[in-house]
Structure 1
Amino acid sequence: MTQQVPDGDKRLSRREISDAVGDLGWRYVLDVVRTSVAVASPARAVEVVARAVAVAGADGERSLEMDVRPGRVVLTLRSPVTGAVTPVEVELAGRISAVVAELGLNTGTDVGGREVRSVQVLEIAIDAIDIAAVRPFWKAVMGYHDEPGASGGEGALVDPVGQGPAIWFQRMTAPRAQRNRIHLDVSVPHDEAPHRIEAALAAGGVLLSDAEAPSFWVLADVEGNEACVTTWQGRD
């Protein structure tokens, strides 16, 4: 059964969020809850978007993000104030799932049972000794903005129209020769991580470290270019 969502403005733990939305077909990934609704036509996609917007109402005016693609609509919820997930977004997920079901569709289920990847969130991580010195370049060249709530000139950068991955900066204490300093963070639902790692290893990848698992695993291709598979677990 889906866990009861706490009332009020109480800060939810990552586990509370994941448990509350899991049975609704939504997944908790990197401070958002996200789902994918498979549709058979653009007209059907428009129906899903219209119903989601209507049922979300004022609560979802800024919390709800929608990405319409051929064959599916991706719906994301996060608080515009905290940049995280609050009881408001969890409650919205339930309302949206209900109206999607009224259309004969499902949140988190693919049409015809075709195999597709799970929802995910992609970030680019850049290692830097002097973050304040390199950050303005990436902000300018990408046309990005400061992440809401970022301070001190070292916070993450985000795409103002929500199309590209966020960029964050990881401080180095000394230069590291012969190692890439830009890597991808692929944040996936916690139970998707083992499958994603298995597939990467089967494709020739190498597991460099699982010391911080299940928060993240460090993998690399055969030439040493790194990527991290991350989950919400192990972070509370």
Structure 2
Amino acid sequence: MERILSRQAASEAVQEYGWRYLLGSLQTSVEVGTSARAVGLAADAVAACGDDADRHLRIDVRPGRVVFTLQSLDHATVTTRDVELARLISATAGKAGLLPGPGTGTEEPRSVQLLEIAIDAFDIAGIRPFWKAVLAYTDEAGAEGAEHPLVDPLRQGPAIWFQQIDRPRPQRNRVHLDISVPHEEAPRRIEAALAAGGRLVSAARAPAFWVLADREGNEACVTTWQGRDN
């Protein structure tokens, strides 16, 4: 039976196979040399995982490299089945003469990483719906409360989480998010963000971008390719 693992247990179970535990998932990177070989390894990994590939495995194929991520979508964390699949994928890569793990070039390897974005807030429950709408994100499986992060259902963007604060901080909003969407989707995204408690700061540069803000002034721009010089 599939069982949820602690962070330590998950890390220890896969480390010798070249995988690392990151933010509730297992991840490894494999250097492959060519795009054709990358696609071939990805296909072999899916075959090795069988039907479980759809509920556990994400693959990012880049020139010369394949990044594999394993996480149970039903539990939004690592389970014993993810560990089994990591071993299968590592064995598949090994048969192809490839080694999962950090790069082997002359430069210091970066290894794997994941990105999260944190937003400081006084009223997390009040602003969380805005960010859920403007990013078209969803709740993690079984995690709908304000204390839980928002995730991209297509796994294209980083998770967003919210940090409780009790006093203003100087020089806030030095960073904002740009969300680039197909031009025909921009009006729908903006409408959803406004309905979720956001406000329109500026449409002066629309349709290149609209500036929106949540209730506490944190800004996000919905952008498209239209209305630009080039």
By the TM > 0.5 criterion, same fold?
Answer: yes
Conservation of the 8 A alpha-carbon contact between 2:55 and 2:74: no
Deviation at 1:118, TM superposition (A): 1.7
Conservation of the 8 A alpha-carbon contact between 1:39 and 1:111: no
Q: How does 1:1-236 map to 2 (within 5 A)?
A: 8-172=1-165, 174-178=166-170, 180=172
Conservation of the 8 A alpha-carbon contact between 1:135 and 1:154: no
- Percent of counterpart pairs with the same letter? 53
Whole-Å Cα distance in 1 between the matches of residues 169 and 78 of structure 2? 39
Deviation at 1:12, TM superposition (A): 2.3
Conservation of the 8 A alpha-carbon contact between 2:103 and 2:111: no
Q: Deviations over 1:153-201 (max 9, x none)?
A: 55311112211110011222x2223164788xxxxxxxxxxxxxxxxxx
Calculate the aligned-residue CA RMSD, in Å.
2.0
Unaligned runs of 5+ in 1: 1-7, 184-236
Distance 1:118 1:182, change over 3 A: farther
TM-score relative to the length of structure 2: 0.70
Whole-Å Cα distance in 1 between the matches of residues 107 and 79 of structure 2? 32
Letter in 1 for 2:162: F
Letter in 2 for 1:99: T
Whole-Å Cα distance in 1 between the matches of residues 7 and 98 of structure 2? 27
Which has more radius of gyration? 2
Deviation at 1:59, TM superposition (A): 2.3
Distance 1:43 1:131, change over 3 A: same
Deviation at 1:81, TM superposition (A): 1.2
Unaligned runs of 5+ in 2: 176-230
- Matched length: 175
Whole-Å Cα distance in 2 between the matches of residues 109 and 151 of structure 1? 35
TM-score relative to the length of structure 1: 0.68
